[in-house]
Amino acid sequence: MPAQEVLIMALTQEIDSHRKAQESLASSERRHRELFEGVNDLILTHDSQGVITSINPAVVRALGYPVAAVQGRPLSHFMPPSSRALYRDEYLPRILATGEDSGIVRCLDRSGKPRLFEYRNVVSLDQAGRPQVNSIARDVTERIEAHRRMKQMQAEIIHARKMAAVGSLVLSSSAASQERDRAREERKAMKEEIRRPAVAGSFYPLRTGIRPGRLRYFSGRDAPRAVHQLLSATARSGRPHYYSGRLPN
């Protein structure tokens, strides 16, 4: 085979190999772009100063800003003012020194509403050999809020149970107090009944027990003393002493 034909065949094979490599690279870049733009997770990159260099559409959806309003700005621009110094003075030196970082960051969307993002960041080198931070994050605002509400409900249930237990104790104490008051009123009424003067001229036949079998009659004036004797006699003998229930003829 002439040398010229061999050279042509070699060039053809090289061109074909280069074309296949280009197609494979384009296909890989296309798949990467589809993944980059299609996932729900937030993907962004920022440089060593914290300036955002690229974002995916999930970042736009989460924050509500257009791409032009996000790229080229420091990530701290979208944080509450109280967090910006921590981002600049603690986060950036830490991740550049360790090569990775993770945690939860609070950002503000376009309406000013706070959003919580769980992130995982790693450092790589860009095409110019400069450090670049690749970040992937997920919006966990609803999850954390649901957890907070659940903890609050649990605390409220525990508090309600404690108050119910206290209420039961109060009711039990109140019932016991009412029972004591009722017994006190009954004793008071009994004493007043005993001390009440009898109708003039009436007699009360009492079997006192002082002289068993003997029936004695007491006038109204002597009734309190007679009742006292009756109760005392009952206590001493252990047997009931009672009035006969009959008035003399």
Phi, psi of 201 (to 5 degrees): 90, -5
Q: What local confidence, expressed as pLDDT, does residue 128 receive?
A: 87
C-alpha distances (whole Å) from 116 to each of 94, 134, 144, 152, 238 are 21, 18, 8, 19, 84
Query: SS3 for 201?
Result: coil
Q: What local confidence, expressed as pLDDT, does residue 6 receive?
A: 62
Statement: the pTM of the whole predicted model exceeds 0.85: no
Window from 108-112, 145-149, 220-224 with minimum mean pLDDT: 220-224
Angstrom distance (rounded) from CA 142 to CA 114: 11
In single-letter form, the type of residue at position 71 comes to: Q
- pLDDT tens track for 43-71: 999 999 999 999 999 999 999 999 999 99
Q: What local confidence, expressed as pLDDT, does residue 26 receive?
A: 65
Q: What is the mean pLDDT of residues 65-91?
A: 94
Q: What local confidence, expressed as pLDDT, does residue 243 receive?
A: 46
- pLDDT tens track for 177-210: 777 777 777 777 666 655 555 444 444 444 444 4
| CB 115 within 8 Å of CB 141 | yes
Query: Which has more confidence, 21 or 143?
Result: 143
Pairing of strands 100-108, 131-139: unpaired
- pLDDT tens track for 133-168: 999 999 999 998 888 888 888 888 887 777 777 666
Cβ neighbours of residue 67 under 8 Å, at least 6 residues apart? 55, 60
Helix axis angle for 223-237 and 141-195, nearest 10°, is: 110
